[in-house]
Amino acid sequence: MGGYKNIGNVGDFICYKYPNIYLLDCKSIQGNTLPFSDLRQYDQMLKYKDILGVAVGFIVWFVDHDRVLWIPVQTMEKIKTEGLKSFNINKMTPDNYFFLEIPSKKLRTFLKSDYSSLVEYYYKKS
C-alpha cells in the first residue's frame, strides 16, 4: 500500500520458513553508510524485535562494495543508542555490531544472493 491513506507495512517482505518468520526491509545504498533517515519503518520494526520466532531487520545491498548484509533491527537500535547516525560498512565489524554477510555473486549489474545463511542462523537460535 506504500503509505496510501496512512496504511503502512512493517517492511518490504514478510517471509516464512519454519519455525521463523522474517520481516525484511530491503535497501540499496550507494557509498559506505546506511543512515537512519533512510529507515522509514525502523520504529514500527522495533515492536517485533523481542517476539520469539520473528527475525526483523534490513537486507542492505552496498552497491559500491558489491556486498549484501543482513542487519537486524537490534543492531540498528544499538547503533542509535550509542549516538551514531548510520551503519558504516567500513567501520562496523560483526564483533561489535552484529550483522550477517549474505553470500552473493556479481552478475552483469546485480548480485545473486543466497539467503540460506540467514535462515540457518535463525533456525539454530530457535
CA distances from 97 to 61, 71, 75, 92 (A): 17, 9, 6, 6
Q: Is residue 62 part of a domain?
A: yes
Q: What domain range includes position 105?
A: 11-121
User: pLDDT digits over 65-116, tens only?
Assistant: 999 999 999 999 999 999 999 999 999 998 999 999 999 999 988 999 999 9
Q: Is residue 96 part of a domain?
A: yes
- Whether the pLDDT of residue 2 is over 90: the answer is no
28 lies in a domain? yes
Does residue 5 fall inside a structural domain? no
CATH number at residue 69: 3.40.1350.10
pLDDT band at 124 (very low <50, low <70, confident <90, very high): confident
Backbone angles phi, psi at 84, to 5 degrees: -85, 155
Q: What is the pLDDT of residue 1?
A: 44
Element (H, E) at 121: helix 116-125
Instruction: Please state the domain count of the chain.
Output: 1
In-domain check, residue 43: yes
Position 32 in a domain: yes
1 domain residue, yes or no: no
How confident is the model at residue 6, as a pLDDT?
58
For residue 62, the cross-strand partners are 29, 67
Task: Read off the pTM.
Answer: 0.90
- pLDDT tens-place string over residues 30-78: 999 999 999 999 999 999 999 999 999 999 999 999 999 999 999 999 9
In a domain, 113, yes or no: yes
